A and B are shown apart, each in its own frame.
Chain A
């Protein structure tokens, strides 16, 4: 393994992040605060509690997951798309690095940035609501696995996309609806029976449910299913990336 190259890619990507640190830090703080004002205060005042947890606290895991998933995808997809767009990918292709090393560098940096923002949101939330974390190791594992797996998805999108429109196609038309309908702001037990069944086909439900379980011990689906779902998703992303690596699809002519 060319660890020096992995470190070089990682450092280069993180430099970009630190260059816009103020934006990286204040943007999630502001958006989280707005979510609390709108959903926590305005709507939450009518809902009171969900399964014994205040509505404001109930939505925290979903809010973190919402930002982490979207940021993981956008960080990783733009990370690899920009070199393609600017033409600087020639350097990656002509360097003594293999695709696994490139993936580790870009996905590692994208996941780190998303993880940072996730922790900022968590810290911001503590100013608004009382949060308890019943299973801290599970919480850390779900958070890190989500950052990594969705960064892998973002990397695939960045390789696949041939223009900026395609870059936003999957996040906006697929991922955002799945997250909003995946129990970010509600428990699926609040839905009518038919919709509860339909919702179980949404993979994000398992992710948010598992993450919320690590906070409050509340889960819409068994925790084992949540863990299997995130591992299966990571496995699928790795398999697709492995195929891209093998064939050079959209990278090497």
Chain B
């Protein structure tokens, strides 16, 4: 894999002394989807804005496709597309014109066929002559994506692309992202929705207070840091956990009919076989057994709250 975006010790401080980025370093491989997770004010948007040229970095180095974002900003920016967090569009302008403007701004000549292809892909072709103010919120988000894709970028930043949109549209967005990945576009998205990162990202980065806490392959992150639980459902509720099961550190749910066993997926012995034997020995009759893995959200909350740091 080739590194398409390289960030080295990137810092951003404002005049009032606030440090929005405290030395972020990160390499992003071509064709991957990286999800940046972080609470409000973590520095996600500042990081994106700095790479894209909207904010001037205080220090550090960023290259896109080998081009420095300051010394060689034209070549670097030509490779980047940005879908901002807020819906920022000229309300009276037609969809076609606004996408054409974006293409021209990036120095690419007229190519109606390419614009048509993008609009069709984003289900906007039928709306191409509509004024933007006539579109729904979801359609406006698609227009933002169309504008970002108009100059055929190799790296696409999606700053909270599904913030405030309904579940159906969110799933549509995920499909669009998956299709862009198939086209070879590298995607960096910020999100509050953990399930979004879980569903579409290859790697996950967690940022908080201007620092990148970790960047890791999503699956291995979940495997390494995820805890798994077995829920043992009983036919008859019990008042308390039998003494013979004390060694397993079980918890009993409120109704008294589910025993919850938490274990580490990386331990040599999970203790599941012994547990089930002991439950049977204790005279308890099982109704069902199910497992549950901790979600990325739980991992994220643990990281940010410092419990797992």
A pairs with B? yes
Q: Is there a chain A Cβ closer than 8 Å to B78's Cβ? A: yes
A91 to B84, CA, bound (A): 9
Tell me if A194 counts as interface (CB < 8 A to partner B). Answer: no
Write the nearest CB–CB distance from A138 to chain B, whole angstroms.
36
What residues of A have a CB within 8 angstroms of the CB of B142 in the complex?
Answer: none
Any chain A CB within 8 A of the CB of B147? yes
A10 to chain B, nearest CB (A): 10
CB distance from B74 to the nearest CB of A (A): 4
B52 contacts across to A, CB distance below 8 A? 90, 93-94
Indicate whether A46 reaches chain B with its CB closer than 8 angstroms. no
Within the complex, the shortest CB–CB distance from B100 to chain A, in Å, comes to 7
Alpha-carbon separation in the docked complex, A248 to B49 (Å): 15
Bound: A40/B73 CA distance, A: 56
A91-B74 in contact given A4-B108, A15-B97 (Cβ < 8 Å): no
| Contact assessment for B56 and A97 in the assembled complex, using a CB-CB cutoff below 8 Å | no
Pick from A9, A19, A96, A248: contact of B77, CB under 8 Å: A96
B271 within 8 A of A: no
Tell yes or no: B80 within 8 A of A by CB.
Answer: yes
Contact call A253/B105, Cβ cutoff below 8 A: no
Asked whether, in the complex, the Cβ of A8 is within 8 Å of the Cβ of B101, the reply is: yes
- Which residues of the partner chain B approach A95 to less than 8 Å between Cβ atoms? 77, 105-106
Write the chain A residue with the least CB distance to B83.
A90
Of the candidates A8, A9, A91, A248, the one having the most CB atoms from chain B within 10 angstroms of its own CB is A91
Number of A-B contacts (CB under 8 A): 84
What is the bound-complex CA distance between A94 and B189, given in angstroms? 17
Contact of A5 among B80, B88, B100, B105 (CB under 8 A): B105
Q: A2-B74, A96-B73, A248-B56 are in contact. Are A90 and B82 (CB under 8 A)?
A: yes
A93 to B73, CA, bound (A): 11
Q: Number of A residues contacting the other chain (C-beta, 8 Å)?
A: 26
User: Considering only CB atoms, which chain A residue lies closest to B98 in the complex?
Assistant: A12
Distance between Cα atoms of A86 and B90 in the complex (Å):
7
Q: Do B74 and A12 touch (CB < 8 A)?
A: no
Interface of A is mostly: helix
Give bound CA distance, A92 to B53, whole Å: 10
A116 to chain B, nearest CB (A): 20
Q: Which residue of B lies closest to A20 (CB)?
A: B92
The answer for the CA separation of A7 and B103 in the assembled complex, in Å, is 11
- If A4-B107, A4-B109, A86-B89 touch, does A91 touch B73 (CB 8 Å cutoff)? no
List, in ascending order, chain B residues with CB within 8 A of A11's CB: 101, 104
**Of A15, A19, A92, A252, the contact of B56 (CB 8 Å cutoff):** A252
User: A82 to B100, alpha carbons, bound, how many Å?
Assistant: 19
A8 touches B14 (CB 8 A): no
Q: Quick one: given A90-B88, A91-B147, A95-B77, are A253 and B55 in contact (CB under 8 Å)?
A: yes
Question: Nearest chain B CB to A2's CB is how many angstroms away?
Answer: 5
A87 at the interface (CB under 8 A from B): yes
Q: Decide: A93 and B97 in contact? CB cutoff 8 A.
A: no
**Is B86 an interface residue, CB under 8 A from the partner?**
yes
B102 at the interface (CB under 8 A from A): yes
Interface flags for A83-107 (1: CB within 8 Å of B; 0: not) read 0001110111111110000000000
| B106 contact from A90, A96, A248, Cβ within 8 A | A96
**Minimal Cβ-Cβ distance residue in A for B102:** A91
Contacts of B86 in A (CB 8 A): 87
Q: Is the CB of A94 within 8 A of B14?
A: no
B78, B100, B147: the one within 8 Å of A96 (CB): B78
B82, B88, B91, B103 — most chain A CB neighbours (10 Å):
B88
B55 touches A5 (CB 8 A): no
Question: Closest residue of chain B to A95, judged by CB?
Answer: B105
Residue on A nearest B79 in the bound complex, by CB: A96
Contact call B80/A2, Cβ cutoff below 8 A: no
Interface: B54 (CB within 8 A): yes
A5-33 interface (Cβ within 8 A of B): 5, 7-9, 11-12, 15-16, 19
| Complex Cα spacing A249 to B91, Å | 27
> Whole-angstrom distance from the CB of A219 to the nearest CB of chain B?
43
- A88 and B105 in contact, given A15-B97, A253-B56 (Cβ under 8 angstroms): no
A88 and B109 in contact, given A94-B77, A95-B77 (Cβ under 8 angstroms): no
Residue pairs across A and B with Cβ atoms less than 8 A apart, 5 shown, are A12-B93, A94-B54, A94-B82, A97-B105, A253-B54
